[in-house]
């Protein structure tokens, strides 16, 4: 895929995110003490000719400079698979706090290596 095609796809996704009416700003999560120190938006974006298919998304702004840092599009999940697991097992801003979690009550800590922490 050429750079122009990737940029066009990214522009279409961002344009649809802005136009989407089905979104929520998430400020707290069970298992994380206090407010989240990053902006987390979740919602659905319509795709297809009539927007008849709805894709769920997480949008997390850079924790450094959302205006100057690059926008990363990371796709994960699938039928029967949650994208949330990628946020906590891979490069997202949260990780499971195994030491302080109980059997049915997970807790979270900040991931110091998350993609949202762009470093110069």
Domain boundaries, the chain: 3-79
pTM summary value: 0.69
CA distance 114 to 93: 5
* Residue 54 dihedral angles phi and psi, to the nearest 5°: -115, 125
Cβ 86 vs Cβ 109: under 8 Å? no
Do residues 110 and 93 touch, judged by C-beta distance below 8 A?
yes
Q: Are 46 and 21 in contact (CB under 8 A)?
A: no
17-51 per-position pLDDT tens digit: 444 457 899 999 999 999 999 899 988 888 888 88
């Amino acid at each position: 895929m050429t750079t122009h095609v990737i940029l066009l796809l990214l522009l279409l996704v961002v344009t649809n995110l802005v136009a989407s009416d089905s979104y929520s700003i998430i400020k707290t999560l069970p298992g994380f003490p206090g407010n989240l120190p990053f902006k987390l938006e979740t919602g659905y974006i319509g795709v297809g000719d009539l927007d008849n298919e709805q894709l769920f998304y997480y949008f997390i702004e850079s924790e450094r400079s959302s205006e100057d840092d690059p926008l990363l599009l990371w796709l994960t999940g699938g039928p029967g698979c949650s994208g949330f697991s990628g946020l906590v097992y891979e490069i997202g801003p949260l990780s499971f706090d195994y030491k302080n979690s109980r059997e049915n009550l997970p807790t979270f800590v900040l991931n110091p290596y998350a993609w949202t922490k762009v470093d110069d």
